[in-house]
Amino acid sequence: LKYLQQKREGQKIAAIWDGASYHRSHEFQDYLSQVNQDLEAADWQITCLRFAPNAPEQDPVEDIWLQTKNFVRKFYRFCHSFKLVKWLFEFFADGQVFEFPKIHEYGFFTQLV
């Protein structure tokens, strides 16, 4: 999250993930409290949304992965190293605005538009 904050300085961040234990750790919760201080939820700098484990049909990140992987597949034959594959993946995903119906099931994202 620190990396994302540096990359998107001054912008709000929404992190979407499963219920892994490190996502729920005291250390992580303390970090979020420090970053968001005493702000109202609508003003938080970092909002973390947790989806049900083993339920990819609920998780919009699965759609992001699919779109990004499909882009990489189109140009994979030009990649002669993993470094190029990684660059291509990041090139497509960085700053991309993803639009798909599932994302609107979660009210948080309607505030970002």
Which pLDDT does position 113 carry in this prediction?
42
- Percent pLDDT > 90 in the chain is 25
Average pLDDT, the chain: 82
pTM equals 0.55
Residues 76 and 69: beta-carbon distance below 8 Å:
no
Q: How far apart (Å, rounded) are the C-alpha atoms in residues 4 and 64?
A: 17
73-19-67 Cα angle (round to 5)? 15
Instruction: Tell me which residue of 101, 103, 108, 73 sits closest to 88, measured CA to CA.
Output: 73
Categorize the per-residue pLDDT at 97 as very low, low, confident or very high, splitting at 50, 70 and 90.
Answer: confident
Query: Is pLDDT of 4 > 90?
Result: no
Query: Is pLDDT of 112 > 90?
Result: no
Question: What digits encode the pLDDT tens for the residues 29-66?
Answer: 899 999 999 899 889 999 887 777 677 777 777 788 88
What is the per-residue burial (b if ≥16 Cβ within 10 Å, else e) of 48-72? beebeeeeeeebbbebbeeebeebb
